[in-house]
Amino acid sequence: MLQLAAVSYKKNNLTYLLAFTLILYLSINFLIRIAFSQTMQLDDAEQIRLSQELALGYPIPQPPLYSWLSWGLFQLIGTGLLALTLLKYLLISLTFWLIWLSSDYLFRHQQTRILATLSLLLLPSFAWHMHQGFTHTILLGLAIAMTLHALLRLPQHHTTVDYLYLGSALGIGLMAKYSFLLLMIPLLLSALTIREYRKPLLQPTIWVTIAAITLWITPHLYWLSQHYQEIYSSIDQKLQVTHKNLLQTRLTSLWGFLTSAIAFVTPWVLLYALFSSRQLLNSRKRTHPPSTQLLSRFYWIVLISVVLLSLFFAMPHFKVRWFHPLMMLFPLWWLSRIESDDAPSNPLVRWAALFTLALSLLIISVRLLQLTVGPELGHYGRLNRPIIETLEQLPTPPQSTLLKTNDHFLGAHLLSHYPNHSIAIQTKLYQRDLSLPLENCLLFWDNDEASSPPTLHHATAQKEQTTKVGKVQYRLNTAQSPNTECP
């Protein structure tokens, strides 16, 4: 009895330590983002513009759910970086939590559950890119974790709520990113090949799941039916899939796919290959539980599908960050294959924890350097552009003045800094209902090489505000224009 109590006490302590570590980690990264720079990344700037209004779809091309969530937070705490950053880290926190919950169905030992949850911090897309600029991909990661958890629960829980939960998870995934289909289809096919999952999936209650999916996606499907050509064209231009090529080109494309997939799980796979590759190979002789079979067959379906498609199609390049739907669950599969009756060895747990801690501290240090002394060292990035700081030095224009720019990125910062003004970004007018009768326009442009200054016909009172960051000068220009040149 005392021994069981001691084991339970140790497990609880490990759980609390993991939770404290992740909360501290996410809090530090949250503070770094909002405390050292008010300049947005491209994806955040895009959300500032799109989330000014609710729409059934946005031609970016991505589903609209993330923009809807952004709009909701904008109504609560105001338009700007704080709302977007808070949304991002709330979604990331939920993703870690759902991976932890899923691990209870996948693993027998507390140590393995901890390794599985920490595995996200050894994937570059989570360890680095999610702090730098992801938006829809972060919601996609949550949907993947949510779907896995809902599916793993199904053999043990058969209530209507569980079927509703599965349908909501799939609906959120489809409304997060179109690429969610790359996970959804093979994972459901995998489930149908395993009796423990096939039986609940073929029950009449599955109509609750189908109804939930339908409710989530129908509004956007209606919009998509009217805009499918521009969405298809945008996706086709991005992926550049073609079937008019030589077999060698297709094999090269297959090699690019496989190397990008491995890159997604590096350095995680390097660490675990060092300690557990032999166990992974020997695991074929053991009988694995249905949860492990689910992930194994998922990867078999993915691999076979990719090989078959490579015989007919090719893509010129793959971006590692595209592999969330296919590779995010790879560490869980690996750990479920190597787990035995005994808990993971102490060297594996110790080295994994130390490596994760070292990598996380390194990334936090790099992010701090990037936002503080980076320009002094000659590394001047988009986050170092003091747009908000420069706008704060300008006198606030009258509310009857329309603010206008041709630069989408600068325009997003105008929307954040001037919430009580009408703002025109190129030909799109935002917040028109906030303005008094327009008297004149105030044109904005800066020294961003990606944008060109506006054409000035009758502009007056042209000014330039300069802010120096490191060895680089940021120049923001304004010019007043009469009402006749306002849109």
Contacts with 459 (C-beta within 8 Å, 6 or more apart), sequence order: 443, 479, 480, 481
Contacts with 3 (C-beta within 8 Å, 6 or more apart), sequence order: none
pTM of the model: 0.93
In this prediction, residues 241-249 reach a mean pLDDT of 70
What is the percentage of the chain residues whose pLDDT exceeds 70?
Answer: 90
| 111: its two tokens | 């140590």
What φ, ψ does residue 255 adopt, rounded to 5°? -65, -40
Q: Are 365 and 449 in contact (CB under 8 A)?
A: no
In this prediction, residues 229-242 reach a mean pLDDT of 73
Sign of CA dihedral 48, 219, 187, 257: negative
Around 113, how many Cα atoms within 13 Å sit in the side-chain half-sphere? Answer: 21
Give the rounded distance of the alpha carbon of 353 from its chain centre. Answer: 24
Q: Which has more pLDDT, 472 or 106?
A: 106
Q: Which of 71, 88, 102, 97 is nearest to 27 (CA)?
A: 88
Contacts with 288 (C-beta within 8 Å, 6 or more apart), sequence order: 296, 336, 337
pLDDT digits (tens, 9 = 90+) for 398-407: 888 899 998 9
Lowest mean pLDDT, pick from 23-27, 33-37, 298-302, 477-481: 477-481
Q: CA dist 368 to 23, 30, 323, 355, 448, Å?
A: 19, 12, 27, 20, 24
- Angle at the Cα of 442 (from 71 to 384), degrees rounded to 5? 60
Contacts with 97 (C-beta within 8 Å, 6 or more apart), sequence order: none
pLDDT higher than 70, residue 151: yes
Determine the pLDDT at residue 448: 74
What φ, ψ does residue 405 adopt, rounded to 5°? -150, 155
Between CA 426 and CA 413 the distance in angstroms is 14
Lowest mean pLDDT, pick from 99-103, 131-135, 226-230, 322-326: 226-230
Q: Which has more pLDDT, 400 or 181?
A: 181
In this prediction, residues 445-452 reach a mean pLDDT of 73
In this prediction, residues 189-197 reach a mean pLDDT of 96
Which amino acid, one-letter code, is at 106? L
By CB atoms closer than 10 A (0-12, 13-18, 19+), residue 264 is buried
Q: Are 420 and 456 in contact (CB under 8 A)?
A: no
Q: Which of 15, 127, 115, 57 is nearest to 334 (CA)?
A: 115
Lowest mean pLDDT, pick from 12-16, 209-213, 298-302, 320-324: 12-16
In this prediction, residues 316-320 reach a mean pLDDT of 77
pLDDT higher than 90, residue 241: no
In this prediction, residues 35-63 reach a mean pLDDT of 91
Does residue 428 sit in helix, strand or coil?
strand
H helix intervals, 107-180 = 110-118, 124, 130-132, 136-153, 160-176
Between CA 125 and CA 324 the distance in angstroms is 8
Q: Are 11 and 18 in contact (CB under 8 A)?
A: no
Between CA 443 and CA 391 the distance in angstroms is 13
Q: CA dist 467 to 70, 161, 403, 475, Å?
A: 30, 56, 21, 7
Q: Which has more pLDDT, 91 or 4?
A: 91
Q: Which of 217, 318, 346 is nearest to 258 (CA)?
A: 318
Give Dmax (Cα) for the chain. Answer: 87
pLDDT higher than 90, residue 184: yes
pLDDT digits (tens, 9 = 90+) for 381-417: 888 899 999 999 999 998 888 999 989 999 999 999 9
| 382: its two tokens | 């988009």
Between CA 281 and CA 289 the distance in angstroms is 17
Around 141, how many Cα atoms within 13 Å sit in the side-chain half-sphere? Answer: 28
Determine the pLDDT at residue 154: 95
Identify the DSSP state of 283: G
Task: Give the chain's length.
Answer: 487
Secondary structure element (H or E) that encloses residue 334, with its range: helix 330-338
Strands 423-425 and 460-469 come out as unpaired
Q: Are 208 and 167 in contact (CB under 8 A)?
A: yes
The pLDDT-based confidence of 54 (bands split at 50, 70, 90) is very high
- Angle at the Cα of 15 (from 13 to 18), degrees rounded to 5? 110
Contacts with 153 (C-beta within 8 Å, 6 or more apart), sequence order: 105, 162, 165
